[in-house]
């Protein structure tokens, strides 16, 4: 089955980004296809480069980067939401900035679109 | 391209966050890319449609003109939940647009008739 | 030494107002700002919740947030007080401390 | 074609659950994740709210979130179903669409 | 330096956000800098004190050990609101620390005895 | 009277940052002293440089920068909250990253400490 996942919240402020990442991992392990992970609203803040969480806590952004690398995933942040918030061109590994049009294409190709947070 | 039926459930007050305005941007974008988009306003989302919003003093962009852009897009339906209006002491005449006012059971059926639901 | 309670989220969407009312002293004041200003509407479940507090004359609303949301004076509960940003600052001085509820 | 409703905030703090229950179809399912998992506790106001839904056998809770919050099996309402992340994925396939309530 | 009396009102569930854990960091810092700090747990904040939290599967840092750091700081009081426990079907024996369980009216008095209130 | 203001929420996600800025302006116009504006939790995201909101909307971050310049204010973001979230060293005009100790000193000097958001 073909999934698109939407991440609507900033990392750390909300557990939603963590849950979305665990969910994405589980669906990939089950052999499903992840068409796109789209980051909207404050979700675009998941792409900030060079975050350094405390050593004894998890690294939300790195978890996404790893998942993207291992599975050749598209992690797309909405360019206009990112521009508004000052998320610059230098993004964490695996993230790309693109338009709502790119998201719209993912919707076309998907059997399920699942939102995490807001 | 395969069109999908997309339903936006708008539950947030305007201005307290950008959720209301950015959700509209997404709805318009999906509509521009040939998806079939409808919107439901419920809970505090009904406040997005209030007439006479004046945002000069809070220094934020007025959302009301965005709703006139409806006509440029092929938005399928605009629904407002009756119960949400009542709880807030509001009536159809308070709203800046003609909308379909429906009860909660009709709303449940609207949800069932769409493929994808977007919440905000 | 009374407290000014600041509510900034909608009591239709969150339960912060109930918690605030539960631990509020009778001399305390309360100001509704941002999405919380919807509480001003008369004849609603929230109006009922804050009825007694309004009678004490210490229920304030931030006027710019009311105007932004198109809420008209004739739809407001009687007895509430409107303040602008200057009035908000003055309230935080008049009361001894503030407590924010989101 | 039933819907899976996803609740991710605490019904003690927000009113999303009430809105969800109001517009939910009787065939729909509901999964409580993140801060919403506190809804699992028996003999509470929330347990009362979702009582009927539990009887339909379509009330799910994300187990890792329950464990994180130290909620023990003996304090849970009977009839609820626990799932892990894999089970959560399967539910989103079993139901036709999802709707998230925050 | 003038000491202030600071009260933290912790109303959030742990793990659903970092609010709970970052609020503790701030409380400890104010205490380390000679302010007189107390904490109230109410609403879903009482869940921060639940015994037997197991966070391995959600992949987040367990908050419980942080509470043992109390003893290194001069935290004045730890209060828990009785009504918040009851609503959640919880009892004092569910908590990992000895705390002062107080009713809502006592809580109102605690607030009145502090200069600054911090919410989260 | 001496104020410290705490901003707890990200810009745009929440109106709290806007309100805090208006409140700060009003208290300064009344002749009060603003000891510090401290940004905590997701409030540190107010310091992101180079944000570009839509032309017809307000620029929350720039509003803070202007207020700081005109009034020689300290806009302090919490360094550990910033590090965790990937808010880098290059901050918008008027913002500085510093420890909770710096905030603690502001508390010492203040008659009122007022929180916006969370």
Q: What is the pLDDT of residue B19?
A: 95
The predicted-structure confidence for F8-41, as pLDDT tens digits, reads as follows: 999 999 999 999 999 999 999 999 999 999 999 9
On whether the CB atoms of residues D41 and E22 are closer than 8 A, the answer is no
Contact B119 A118 (CB under 8 A): yes
pLDDT class of B1 with cuts at 50, 70, 90: low
Looking at residue F33, its pLDDT comes to: 98
Q: E12: which DSSP letter?
A: S
Domain count, chain B: 1
Chain D positions in Cβ-Cβ contact with residue A118 (cut-off 8 Å): 100, 102
For residue B114, which residues of chain D lie inside 8 Å, CB to CB? 97
Nearest of B12, F53, A86, F44 to residue C34 by alpha carbon: B12
Percent of chain F scored above 90 by pLDDT? Answer: 96
- The pLDDT value recorded for residue E71 is 74
Model confidence pLDDT, tens digit, residues A26-49: 999 999 999 999 999 999 999 999
The whole-number pLDDT of residue A89 equals 78
Digit-coded pLDDT (tens) for B13-36: 999 999 999 999 999 999 999 999
Residues 36-65 of F with CB under 8 A from A: 41-42, 45, 48-54, 57, 61
Residue tagged active-site, from A44, A78, A81, A92: A78
**Structure confidence at residue E1 (pLDDT):** 58
Contact assignment for B120 to A80 by CB distance below 8 Å: no
D contact test, residue of C10, C11, C12, C14 with most D CBs within 10 A: C14
pLDDT number for residue A101: 97
**Tell me: the pLDDT tens digits for C25-76?**
999 999 999 999 999 999 999 999 999 999 999 999 999 999 999 999 999 9
The answer on pLDDT for E48 being more than 90 is yes
Strand ranges in chain F using DSSP code E only, listed in sequence order: 2-7, 33-39, 75-78, 95-98, 112-116
How many Cβ pairs closer than 8 A exist between chain A and B? 50
Question: Residue C3: its pLDDT value, please?
Answer: 98
For B31-90, how does the pLDDT look when each residue is reduced to its tens digit (9 = 90+)?
Answer: 999 999 999 999 999 999 999 999 999 999 999 998 877 777 889 999 999 999 999 999
C3 to chain E: which residues are within 8 Å by CB? 111-112, 117
Say if C and D touch: at least 3 Cβ pairs within 8 Å: yes
Chain B closest-CA separation from residue D63 CA (Å)? 24
Segment (H or E) for D64: helix D63-68
Domains of chain F: 2-10+25-116 (3.40.1260.10)
What is d(CA B43, CA D89) in angstroms, rounded to the nearest whole number? 29
For E61, the closest of A13, A22, A56 (CB atoms) is A56
pLDDT at residue number E67: 86
pLDDT at D64 over 70: yes
What would the mean pLDDT of C8-22 be, rounded to a whole number?
98
* pTM of this structure: 0.97
Residue C21, φ and ψ in degrees, nearest 5:
-65, -30
Q: Does residue A20 carry a pLDDT above 90?
A: yes
**Is the confidence at residue F113, as pLDDT, over 90?**
yes
Q: How far apart are CA F101 and CA F105, in angstroms?
A: 6
Contact E59 A58 (CB under 8 A): yes
The full set of domains in chain C, from first to last, is: 3-101 (3.40.1260.10)
Domain that holds residue E27: 5-119
Q: Do chains D and F touch (3 or more CB pairs under 8 A)?
A: no
CATH number for the domain that contains residue E56: 3.40.1260.10
Among E residues 80-109, those touching chain D with beta carbons less than 8 Å apart: 87-90, 94
Closest-CA residue to A85 (of A4, A5, A13) = A13
% of chain D surpassing 90 pLDDT: 99
Task: Tell me if residue A21 is catalytic.
Answer: no
Q: Which of D4, D85, D94 to mutate to test the interface with A (most CBs of A within 10 A)?
A: D85
């Amino acid at each position: 089955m073909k999934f698109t996942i939407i991440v609507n919240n900033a990392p750390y402020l909300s557990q939603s980004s963590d849950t979305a990442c665990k969910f994405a991992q589980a669906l990939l392990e089950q052999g499903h296809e992840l068409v796109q992970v789209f980051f909207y609203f404050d979700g675009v803040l998941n792409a900030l480069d060079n975050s350094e969480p405390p050593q004894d806590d998890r690294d939300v952004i790195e978890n996404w980067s790893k998942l993207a690398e291992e599975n050749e995933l598209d992690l797309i942040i909405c360019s206009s939401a990112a521009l508004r918030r000052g998320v610059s061109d230098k993004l964490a590994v695996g993230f790309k900035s693109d338009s709502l049009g790119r998201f719209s294409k993912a919707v076309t190709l998907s059997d399920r679109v699942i939102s995490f947070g807001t | 391209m395969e069109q999908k039926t997309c339903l936006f459930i708008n539950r947030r007050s305007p201005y307290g966050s950008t959720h209301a305005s950015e959700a509209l941007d997404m709805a318009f974008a999906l509509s521009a890319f040939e998806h079939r988009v409808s919107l439901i306003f419920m809970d505090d989302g009904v406040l997005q449609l209030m007439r006479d919003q004046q945002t000069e003093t809070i220094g934020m962009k007025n959302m009301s003109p965005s709703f006139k852009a409806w006509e440029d897009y092929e938005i399928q339906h605009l629904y407002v939940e009756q119960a949400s209006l009542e709880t807030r002491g509001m009536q159809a005449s308070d709203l800046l647009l003609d909308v379909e006012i429906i009860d909660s059971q009709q709303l449940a059926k609207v949800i069932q008739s769409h493929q994808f639901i977007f919440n905000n | 030494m009374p407290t000014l309670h600041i509510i900034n989220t909608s009591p239709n969407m969150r339960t912060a107002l109930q918690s605030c009312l539960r631990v509020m002293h009778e001399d305390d004041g309360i100001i509704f700002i941002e999405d919380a200003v919807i509480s001003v509407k008369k004849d609603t479940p929230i109006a009922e919740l804050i009825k007694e507090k309004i009678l004490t004359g210490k229920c304030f609303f931030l006027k710019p947030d009311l105007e932004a949301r198109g809420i008209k004076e004739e739809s407001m509960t009687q007895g509430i007080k409107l303040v602008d940003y200057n009035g908000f600052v003055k309230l935080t001085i008049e009361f001894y401390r503030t407590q924010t509820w989101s």
